[in-house]
Structure 1
Amino acid sequence: MRRFDRLILWTISIGIAVICLFAAYGFKLAVDSGDKTYRIEVNRITREISDGRKPDELKLEEYNRVRNLAWLEWNAEPEAVRSFFDGTGVQNNAEYTVKPIYRGDEPAGYLRLEYVSGTSRSPLLLLTVILLGAVLAAISSLLLYIRQQIIRPFHTIEELPYALSKGNLTQDMKESKSRFFGKFIWGLNLLRETLDRQKQTNLRLEKDRQTLIASLSHELKTPVAAIKLYSSALAEGLYDNEDKRRASAGLIGQKAAQIEAMIISIISASVSSLQETEVHVTEFYLKEWIRQVVEHYKERLALLKIPFEVAVPDDKLLLGDPDKLLEVMDNLLENAIKYGDGSLIRISFREEDYRQLIIIENTGNPVPATELPHIFTSFWRGSNSAGKQGNGLGLFICRQLMRKMDGDIYGEAYAEGMRFVLVLRY
């Protein structure tokens, strides 16, 4: 910033100095040139008159500086001579000079010549100086504009990325009306606020997780100890009648249910961030959205040699979050690649009950009918997932996102494979 200020100062100073030097030299050159010119013309006319040429025979239009002349005889009255030398009759108070004329050694009279001293270049020179001043003013204005609109706003944000990298999310920036950095500063503030919210959420979730783990670790000891006790007693035949054995088995079942409830609590805590995901519902065009999906997967599926069929939908406005909907589609297509047999993946469309349906199908072994009710449960994996990596959260996330968009998702098994249907409003 300081270097740029010095650049502006030096530019203005050097520009003013150059203009002043040019003006001084130009005016001096004009005056000197004019002075020499009128003297040459005066001497030339004086010489011609001295050589015997009559004053009225001279053609003054041939001269650039001398504009008029007057003649007075040598033997004129003293009063006339005085008036002649005082400039009586000189037009518009012009500059003049009086030369005595001799023919041979005898004086013949006096010649008065009116002339222009030689500043005819002054208007052009003045115009040039004005233009140079305007150029300097324009350059100075441009530099000041760059300083105010670009350098200064950039100077205010240059420390923010470093602060963000260090985790300092409290440093706010004033909004700027700069046409170059106004939206950028606004966007950085939004980024900072988003990161700050995410940080606070992560801190809260981590605190909750640690509290929950500490609590459950302590509570799990009691039912585990009871189960060990009852199972040992049963294994060693310490109960002498059937009623006691059944009661012990029932207690083991109760403690196991208690442990299961604790595990469910852990699972719920681990996916709480998914439940808090923000969805921004807006209008978007179906055809443009599906084009992005096709562009993303077409080449990959071609390399995998999996046929990919996509119907052409009617171009209509849908309600939802297009970015989150892409996440849903990513999950479904990845599942189709992972669990399908590679023979076909198809996307089709239809309308039903004033809703837009998007159908994703893949060939392969379907999920058994008994497992279909559980496919959207968190951390649940079907029997067809053996040997394949995964955490059982993909479909759970899909349902969470679709419901936040006031839509839905459901899965179907058919003879050739699996079908998932997305339901959206329009």
Structure 2
Amino acid sequence: MNTYLFLGLVLALFMMAYLISVLRRVRTQLALIKDVLEDIKNGNLNRRVLAGESDMARQICYDINEIAVTSQSRLIQQKQSEQAYKRLMTSLSHDVKTPLSSLVGYLEAIESNIVAGEEKDEYIHVASNKTHQLKHFVENLFEWVKLDSGEQIFHFELFDLNELSRNIIADWIPILENSHFAYAFDIPETEYSMRIDVNAYTRILNNLLQNIITHSEGNHMTLHIFENEQQAKIVITDNGKGISPDDLPHIFERMYQCDHSRSAKGNGLGLSITRELVSAHKGTITAASISGSGTTFTILLPKAL
């Protein structure tokens, strides 16, 4: 009997020692968790809580680490968004103020009768161009804001992609010819029905063609459409100056301009808007280019949206 009592006492002491040890580890870990939470609260999102598989509070530690990683990611995105809006403000000050000041100057000269005859007509022509430039920028800006805020509403309906593409391209033929661009279009004659937002798809092609005319410095462009049961592939190429390897990964970023001197036309919104509109169709757009050898844009649109 005494032996069983002794063994029971030893076992009880062992259990008490084990529980005390566990409680000490938990208390130590809770103290560490408290310190980490205090650091995170003060803005240090790099802090993490280390936990072993046998730790009782390991799930709490994992959850705290996940919260810290998520918060850090959101903070990075917020800073990137703030930088994008700062670039937007810089672009606004240049892309609106400069042509607006010029427009006011031309109109004041006309109103004050400083110019007359053919020179007056030329001033009116330049003022008109400046007005269209501002209109184009404002339209891009509003579309960018709507896409960025998720307020853009799309209306997807069944359309013949080939017929729609031909109609869009037809409006560009005189523009290309006036810009001294040769062109070649290869669009299948067969019907290819898929769900499309007509306005968005029109804007996609318009932006890419305008980008070629404005920035490529080439004199020839092509558009080919390839189709199968799964997707349509639209390939648009030019023979212009191309895009440098440093700029190529960034051309679809908002407000990014390859001409960093800001002497080029454009506002860095067109290709960004194009990518967003392609994404709305569950598609992808990529660009390939070799400096001095032109650029190729490839759009993939799934048939089943």
Normalization by structure 1: what TM-score? 0.36
Please report the TM-score for the alignment, with normalisation by the length of structure 2: 0.50
- Tell which has more relative contact order, 1 or 2 (C-alpha 8 A, sep 6+): 2
Q: Which of 1 and 2 has greater Rg?
A: 1
